[in-house]
């Protein structure tokens, strides 16, 4: 919440109407949680508490909210363990031999925040200009390979004409970007570094402080990943020497303005030619099991496949997940081309590893469903972990606190959705998900 002096009512009077908000934030931010967070503020003073962070400290001070959003989006429980990191390209297997008849292009991108600066959702003109100065120095050291220079130049966004913007696949700020404040003072101090061959692009002061994008027109994920790793590590070393390292939090990994990018900040996108699989009735189920998403492009029968999460796996692990998933999607497409059945190729369901309760209502139904599951296994009927499973939740700062227990309301509203994930740690059992969707 902002440190600025605002005329505000009580927490109940200020609580936003989230009845039409169908995001993780809309499910997780209850009136009780809003009351707990209402009088808190970070030193930088972001204007609101939502699904973007004003600065890195927001992830610590408002951990009760952000942790649940992160776990829900990424399907991975936050623990006291430091997230695994792996930039060893030799550990990536099979990224260079995708079937070129289907895979036509790939893109590996990563976002980073810079320590000591507010995120673009809240940074000032002066901060933005200082970040641009740092980027000028950093991009002078980018490389194609270990010993080979990667020539390029840094362009200011305000100097680019429309043709140059289209060539860079640049889109003007969207409505959502305008709402969260990243387009403030547009286009002041926004820039883009472009390599001479176009294989590497570094965006500065857009939705994040830095965004590196490595592309390969032959869909060679290994080469794109290698180029990104080499140059990201060079930038990281330089920024550390300049006393402005990239923003890292012990239990979260790399953090930036969006909780959707916490952990690695890594996105791997592959453009695939698919005729049959997108129309198949198992499409969404298969993608969910692979932890991938598939988006349409402007070209017919051309789809963009990418990872849904950035937290819970290392950089190599996430890239390997996309490589293996894309190969499986191609195998399914080939089988459908000859009117074959893909049921034998459908992977097993991946288990979520999260432990929390969301949404203000419908809890009685959820708890009842969990009790039925536990009785069927001979376990006690009381849910085992409605709050934090232990007292070692997070020790990064003294502001870290154990999560409060969640009260179950007396009555369940039929119009509200409830999601409850119970951890059956005592019996060594798997996680169970009980979900009741909104009724029309």
The SS3 assignment for 85 reads coil
Q: Residue 79 falls within a domain, yes or no?
A: no
Which of the four pLDDT bands, split at 50, 70 and 90, describes residue 413? Answer: very low
Which residue among 321, 345, 369 closes a domain? 345
296 is in an annotated binding site: yes
H/E run at residue 156:
strand 152-156
How far is residue 304 from each of residues 189, 224, 301, 315, measured CA to CA in Å?
Answer: 31, 16, 10, 20
Q: Establish whether 211 is an annotated binding residue.
A: yes
* pLDDT computed for residue 8 by the predictor: 64
**192 annotated ligand binder:** no
205 annotated as belonging to a binding site for a ligand: no
**pLDDT beyond 60 at 393:** no
User: Residue 350 domain-assigned?
Assistant: no
Is 257 in the same domain as 378? no
88 appears as a binding residue in the annotation: no
Q: Are residues 125 and 188 in the same domain?
A: yes
Is 394 annotated among the ligand-binding residues? Answer: no
Q: Are residues 416 and 318 in the same domain?
A: no
Residue 394 lies in a domain: yes
Query: What CATH number did the domain enclosing 324 receive?
Result: 3.30.590.10
32 and 151 inside one domain? no
pLDDT digits (tens, 9 = 90+) for 118-142: 999 888 899 999 999 999 998 887 7
Q: Is 109 annotated as a binding residue?
A: yes
Among 326, 345, 364, identify where a domain stops: 345
Chain segment 301-347, per-residue pLDDT in tens: 899 999 999 999 999 999 999 999 999 999 999 999 999 999 999 98
In a domain, 266, yes or no: yes
Q: What is the pLDDT of residues 248-297, one digit of tens each?
A: 998 999 999 999 999 999 999 999 999 999 999 999 999 999 999 999 98
Annotated ligand binding at 107? The verdict is: yes
Is 106 annotated in some ligand binding site?
yes
Q: Phi and psi dihedrals of 427, rounded to 5?
A: -95, 0
Instruction: Output the pLDDT for position 394.
Output: 43
In whole angstroms, give the CA distance from residue 371 to residue 211: 46
Asked if the structure places residue 36 within a domain, the reply is yes
Domain match, 64 and 94 both:
no
Structure tokens at 310: 């950035």
Q: Whole-angstrom Cα distance, residue 179 to residue 182? A: 8
Write down the pLDDT at residue 255.
96
Please state whether the predicted TM-score (pTM) of the whole model is above 0.75.
no
Of 178, 243, 241, 244, the closest CA to residue 209 belongs to: 244
Q: Do 310 and 268 belong to one domain?
A: yes
Does the annotation flag 10 for ligand binding?
no
Let me know whether 397 and 291 are in one domain.
Answer: no
Q: Is 271 annotated as a binding residue?
A: yes
Domain co-membership, 262 together with 390: no
The whole-number pLDDT of residue 177 equals 67
| Among the ranges given (66-75, 121-130, 167-176, 238-247), the one the predictor scored with the smallest mean pLDDT | 167-176
Q: How many domains does the chain have?
A: 3
Residue 295 labelled as part of a binding site: yes
Give mean pLDDT, residues 89-114: 95
Q: Give mean pLDDT, residues 358-382.
A: 41
Cα–Cα distance, 275 to 223 (Å, whole number)? 27
Please tell me whether residues 106 and 35 are part of one structural domain: no
80 located within any domain: no
CA 418, 179, 189, 154 torsion: positive or negative? positive
Last residue of a domain, one of 16, 42, 74: 74
pLDDT value at 105 more than 50: yes
401 is in an annotated binding site: no
Q: Which domain holds residue 36?
A: 1-74
């Amino acid at each position: 919440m902002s440190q600025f002096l605002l005329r505000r009512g009580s927490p109940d009077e200020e609580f936003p109407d989230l009845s039409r908000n169908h995001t993780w934030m809309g499910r997780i931010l209850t009136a009780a949680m809003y009351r707990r967070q209402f009088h808190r503020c970070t030193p930088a003073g972001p204007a609101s508490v939502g699904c973007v962070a004003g600065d890195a400290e927001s992830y610590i001070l408002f951990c009760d909210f952000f942790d649940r959003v992160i776990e829900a989006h990424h399907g991975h429980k936050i623990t006291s363990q430091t997230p695994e990191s792996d930039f060893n390209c030799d550990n990536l297997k099979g990224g260079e031999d995708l079937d070129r008849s289907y895979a036509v292009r790939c893109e590996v991108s990563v976002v980073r925040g810079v320590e000591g600066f507010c995120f673009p959702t809240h940074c000032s003109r002066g901060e933005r200009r200082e970040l641009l100065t740092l980027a000028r120095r950093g991009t002078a050291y980018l490389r194609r390979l270990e010993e080979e220079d990667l020539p390029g130049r840094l362009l200011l966004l305000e100097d680019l004409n429309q043709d140059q913007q289209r060539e860079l696949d640049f889109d003007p700020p969207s409505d959502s970007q305008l709402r969260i404040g990243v387009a403030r003072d547009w286009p002041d101090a926004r820039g883009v570094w472009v390599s001479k061959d176009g294989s590497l692009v570094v965006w500065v002061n857009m939705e994040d402080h830095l965004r590196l994008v490595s592309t390969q027109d032959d869909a060679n994920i290994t080469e794109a990943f290698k180029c990104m790793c080499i140059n990201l590590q060079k930038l990281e070393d330089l920024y550390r020497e300049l006393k402005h390292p990239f923003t890292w939090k012990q239990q979260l990994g790399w953090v930036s303005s969006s909780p959707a990018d916490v952990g690695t900040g890594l996105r791997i996108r592959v453009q695939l030619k698919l005729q049959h699989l997108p129309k198949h009735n198992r499409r969404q189920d298969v993608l969910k099991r692979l932890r991938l998403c598939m988006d349409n492009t402007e070209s017919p029968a051309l789809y963009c496949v990418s990872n849904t999460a950035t937290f819970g796996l290392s950089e190599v692990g996430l890239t390997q997940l996309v490589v293996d998933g894309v190969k499986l999607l191609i195998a399914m497409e080939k089988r459908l081309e000859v009117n074959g059945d893909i049921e034998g190729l459908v992977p097993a369901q991946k288990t979520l590893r999260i432990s929390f309760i969301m949404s203000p209502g419908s809890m009685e139904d959820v708890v009842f469903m969990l009790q039925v599951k536990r009785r069927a296994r001979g376990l006690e009927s009381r849910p085992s972990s409605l709050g934090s499973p232990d007292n070692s939740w997070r020790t990064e700062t003294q502001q870290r606190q154990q999560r409060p227990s969640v009260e179950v309301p007396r009555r369940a509203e039929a119009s509200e959705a409830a999601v409850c994930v119970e951890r059956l740690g005592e019996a060594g059992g798997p996680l169970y998900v009980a979900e009741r969707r909104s009724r029309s």
